[in-house]
């Protein structure tokens, strides 16, 4: 493969990796997602009636883009307190000790859930990290690829959080 074609293929792969996959509504979109706590207890993720929007952020400690996005997302959602915006952070494929050590070393105080085998992440069309599931009354939208602070601000404003 010549250099130009190879570069084009790599660019296309990169664009695909950060593209947005969208699917809305339908009964499957409302099904709860089962993950677990750091202690291994099962948790069903489901948008509650009082949630205007629920964001499920899939990440991993080894993912540099995740580490850039996560603080911006947490900061944005914290400005929406009391406005029906809920954030759930789900680590994909890592053990409890790796997650706890990472959170402690980076001074992060988050309630993290686990998808230890990446099953839920794969079921939601996960092919990259970070991945966000934006869940509203209309359905779920899955987005793969990092988002910056201004993108999250626009998303949260759309959800009714002007914070």
146 three-state secondary structure = coil
| Residue partners of 91: CB distance under 8 A and separation at least 6 | 58, 59, 60, 61, 99, 112, 113, 114, 115
Provide the 8-state DSSP code for 92: E
**Tokens for 70?**
């996560």
pLDDT at residue 2 greater than cutoff 60? no
Chain segment 7-38, per-residue pLDDT in tens: 333 333 333 333 333 333 333 445 788 999 99
Residue 44, judged by CB atoms within 10 A of its CB (0-12, 13-18, 19+), counts as exposed
Chain segment 128-137, per-residue pLDDT in tens: 999 999 999 8
Measured torsion, CA atoms of residues 154, 55, 47, 88, in degrees rounded to the nearest 10: -150
CATH assignment at residue 112: 3.40.30.10
Residue at 126 is within a domain: yes
Q: What is the pLDDT of residue 137?
A: 87
Residue at 15 is within a domain: no
pTM for the predicted model, two decimal places:
0.80
Provide the 8-state DSSP code for 46: -
- 85 and 77 Cβ atoms separated by less than 8 Å: yes
Find the domain containing 41 and state its range.
Answer: 20-158
Q: What is the pLDDT of residue 5?
A: 41
Residue at 10 is within a domain: no
Question: What is the average pLDDT score of the chain?
Answer: 82
- 132 and 147 Cβ atoms separated by less than 8 Å: yes
- 58 and 121 Cβ atoms separated by less than 8 Å: yes
- 23 and 142 Cβ atoms separated by less than 8 Å: yes
Residue at 12 is within a domain: no
**How sure is the predictor about 101, in pLDDT bands with cuts at 50, 70 and 90?**
very high
- 56 and 86 Cβ atoms separated by less than 8 Å: no
As for how many domains the chain has, the answer is 1
């Amino acid at each position: 493969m010549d250099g130009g074609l190879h570069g084009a293929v790599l660019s296309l792969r990169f664009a695909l990796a950060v593209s947005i996959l969208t699917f809305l509504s339908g009964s499957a979109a409302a099904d709860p997602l089962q993950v677990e706590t750091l202690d291994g207890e099962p948790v069903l993720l489901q948008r509650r009636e009082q949630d205007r929007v629920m964001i499920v952020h899939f990440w991993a400690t080894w993912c540099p883009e995740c580490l850039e996005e996560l603080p911006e997302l947490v900061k944005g959602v914290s400005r929406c307190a009391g406005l029906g915006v809920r954030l759930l952070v789900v680590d994909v494929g890592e053990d409890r000790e790796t997650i706890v050590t990472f959170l402690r070393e980076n001074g992060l105080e988050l309630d993290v859930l686990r998808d230890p085998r990446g099953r839920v992440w794969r079921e939601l069309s996960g092919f990259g990290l970070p991945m966000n599931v934006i869940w509203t009354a209309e359905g779920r939208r899955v987005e793969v690829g990092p988002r910056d602070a201004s993108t999250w601000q626009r998303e949260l404003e759309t959800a009714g959080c002007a914070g």
